[in-house]
Chain A
Amino acid sequence: MGTTSEKNWEPKIVAFLCNWCSYAGADLAGVSRFQYPPNIRIIRLPCSGRVSANMILDALRSGADGVLVSGCHPGDCHYISGNLFARRRFALLNNLLEFVGIEPGRVNFSWVSASEGEQFAEVVKEVTDKVKKLGPSTRLVKRIG
């Protein structure tokens, strides 16, 4: 992604948020005026169970420096168990990516409820800090030309 010079580099982070909890949590962070880094680009999905590995890897391939996937806390899923199925898939994906040498911290997972505006801001800060430390993503990024 065409970012500015290395000095002023700011990471681009794609956030997949579930409609019912994390997206509402982000909304609450906004209306409550909690400050968080403007590095995330939110993609709203019906449920964290909708997030597939394809999407996460597509974000990395397209040049995202980091990915955040966030859903309802286990037990609070709007669809009862979507996030519990997703949790198994995320755990395996997380380990597999680490296994092939993708830096831990590029792909992040969290549970944020609709009432946790402050926690959402915290999570975004934590993820942005981590990705900033890792620097621009180079692995699995498709460079054309």
Chain B
Amino acid sequence: MSTVNEKITEKIRSEAQRLLSSGEIAAFIGYEAGSLPMSVRPFVARKPEDASRLVWNSFCVLNLANYLPALLKSFEPPRRPGDPPPEGPLPKVGILATGCWSRNIVVQIKENQVDRDRVVIVGVPSRGMVSARKVKEAVGERDIQACTEEDHSLKISGEGFEQELNRWDVVRDNCKTCVHPDPVIYDILIGDPAGERQVQDRFAQVDEIEHKSLEERWDWFADSFSSCVRCYACRNACPLCYCPTCFVDDSRPQWVGKSTEQTDTMLFHILRAYHCAGRCTDCGSCESVCPVGIPMRLLTKKLNKDVLEMYGSEAGMSLDEPLPLTTYNPADPQGFVLTEKSEKGGDR
């Protein structure tokens, strides 16, 4: 009897095979098995026979939308600024998309990074991805040599131990609080839609920090971000970060120093999160790729919470609705403005 993920893998392979051999798409972005247990590698299938290398399991934590704009561009003929856009239809690209990834694709479409007509989205309702970090903690940081996955459990084994874990216990925090596991746009859907999830206290992690005093919050920030080594893995894994020159690489003016000094690190994390305001879908890639386990997702989650509360909007839920920071409402809350406080008695 095959598990849910094995069935999904089968369907992904057959769809990718069909799309590639019919010539509908020139490449398909998915995952192949990694060389270590609990790891997968993003993989671009370019030939029909590549499709058999595709896999799907609970460790597909990287957001594949990240690779979409560059891959689409690689199929365009080279042109200089000011040259007319290429004529005729350009090759299409297929991509796997869970709820959050599909919302990132929507954001990319709205930001003119992706042409909807050139993407074939293969939707996969997400069951939540597993955090390898949590698994390692659960087995007491012992060396994991194999991991087999059942529908609701993980069998972890290494030298001298074998342990079975409940899958949901080691699912990532962002997946546990996810309310939109189904892709919002797709051309082909694999598996059954999971429906909107009911989650109490989606923002519980954020609330917990908000309830701390100012000093405690500063201590929390200083403490949890102090181990950052400035590898920029969080930036590189983010599908929102496609600027040709990132603000951290600017040198004149240099907004953020390049050292691991506390202020530089903090400014980097504040600005990185802030650039994702109103665009972040809480896919958790940033946190998953962090080599030192910094909870930088909480900053974007806080912004997501504020955007939802103040502007009633969630990133990438529809192609028609503008992104919250590219629009405005004359009645937007402004209790934080000094000159408005006295008249309105301060709404915040």
Contacts of A81 in B (CB 8 A): 328
Determine whether the beta carbon of B310 is less than 8 Å from that of A142.
Answer: no
Q: In the complex, how many angstroms separate the beta carbon of A105 from the nearest chain B beta carbon?
A: 10
B320 at the interface (CB under 8 A from A): no
B232 at the interface (CB under 8 A from A): no
With A96-B273, A119-B339 as known contacts, state yes or no: A84 contacts B263, CB within 8 Å: no
Bound Cα distance A101, B255 (Å): 20
Determine whether the beta carbon of B214 is less than 8 Å from that of A91.
Answer: no
Say whether chain A's binding surface is mostly helix, strand, loop, or mixed: helix
With A53-B271, A101-B220, A142-B257 as known contacts, state yes or no: A85 contacts B325, CB within 8 Å: yes
Bound Cα distance A123, B61 (Å): 48
What are the interface flags for A98-114 relative to B under an 8 Å C-beta threshold, 1 for contact and 0 otherwise? 11111110001111100
Determine whether the beta carbon of B339 is less than 8 Å from that of A112.
Answer: yes
A141 at the interface (CB under 8 A from B): yes
With A84-B328, A96-B302 as known contacts, state yes or no: A54 contacts B209, CB within 8 Å: no
Q: In the complex, how many angstroms separate the beta carbon of A122 from the nearest chain B beta carbon?
A: 9
Number of interface residues of A (CB under 8 A): 42
With A111-B339, A123-B339 as known contacts, state yes or no: A91 contacts B218, CB within 8 Å: no
A43 at the interface (CB under 8 A from B): no
B161 at the interface (CB under 8 A from A): no
Residue A100 contacts which of B278, B299, B307, B311 (CB distance < 8 angstroms)? B299
Determine whether the beta carbon of B214 is less than 8 Å from that of A96.
Answer: no
Contacts of B220 in A (CB 8 A): 101
Determine whether the beta carbon of A108 is less than 8 Å from that of B338.
Answer: yes
Bound Cα distance A81, B116 (Å): 29
With A88-B311, A100-B218 as known contacts, state yes or no: A95 contacts B330, CB within 8 Å: no
Contacts of B278 in A (CB 8 A): 92
Determine whether the beta carbon of A74 is less than 8 Å from that of B334.
Answer: yes
Determine whether the beta carbon of B306 is less than 8 Å from that of A92.
Answer: yes
A28 at the interface (CB under 8 A from B): no
A97 at the interface (CB under 8 A from B): yes
B162 at the interface (CB under 8 A from A): no
Q: In the complex, how many angstroms separate the beta carbon of A143 from the nearest chain B beta carbon?
A: 8
A-B contact count (CB 8 A): 119
Determine whether the beta carbon of A96 is less than 8 Å from that of B274.
Answer: yes
Residue B209 contacts which of A99, A126, A142 (CB distance < 8 angstroms)? A99
With A88-B311, A91-B333 as known contacts, state yes or no: A139 contacts B274, CB within 8 Å: no
Contacts of B330 in A (CB 8 A): 74-75, 84
With A91-B332, A111-B340, A123-B338 as known contacts, state yes or no: A101 contacts B210, CB within 8 Å: no
A87 at the interface (CB under 8 A from B): yes
Name B319-348 residues within 8 Å CB distance of A. Answer: 324-328, 330, 332-334, 336-340
Residue A111 contacts which of B263, B273, B299, B337 (CB distance < 8 angstroms)? B337
B29 at the interface (CB under 8 A from A): no
Contacts of A93 in B (CB 8 A): 274
Bound Cα distance A97, B269 (Å): 11
Contacts of B217 in A (CB 8 A): 98-101
Determine whether the beta carbon of A110 is less than 8 Å from that of B328.
Answer: no
Contacts of B303 in A (CB 8 A): 92, 96
Contacts of B310 in A (CB 8 A): 88, 91-92
Name A41-100 residues within 8 Å CB distance of B. Answer: 53-54, 57-58, 61, 74-75, 81, 84-85, 87-100
Contacts of A89 in B (CB 8 A): 277, 325
Determine whether the beta carbon of B339 is less than 8 Å from that of A85.
Answer: no
A-B interface, 4 closest residue pairs, ranked by CB to CB distance from nearest: A101-B218, A101-B217, A84-B328, A100-B221
Chain B residues proximal to chain A, CB less than 8 Å: 206, 209-210, 214-222, 247, 253, 255, 257, 261, 263-264, 266-267, 270-271, 273-274, 277-278, 299, 302-303, 306-307, 310-311, 324-328, 330, 332-334, 336-340
Q: What are 18 A-to-B residue pairs whose CB atoms are below 8 Å?
A: A53-B271, A53-B274, A74-B334, A81-B328, A87-B328, A92-B274, A92-B303, A96-B270, A99-B217, A100-B270, A100-B299, A101-B214, A101-B215, A101-B218, A111-B339, A111-B340, A140-B263, A142-B264
Known: A54-B247, A85-B325, A101-B216. 14 other contacts (CB 8 A): A53-B270, A54-B255, A57-B267, A74-B330, A84-B330, A87-B334, A96-B270, A98-B214, A99-B302, A104-B214, A109-B336, A111-B337, A126-B338, A139-B218
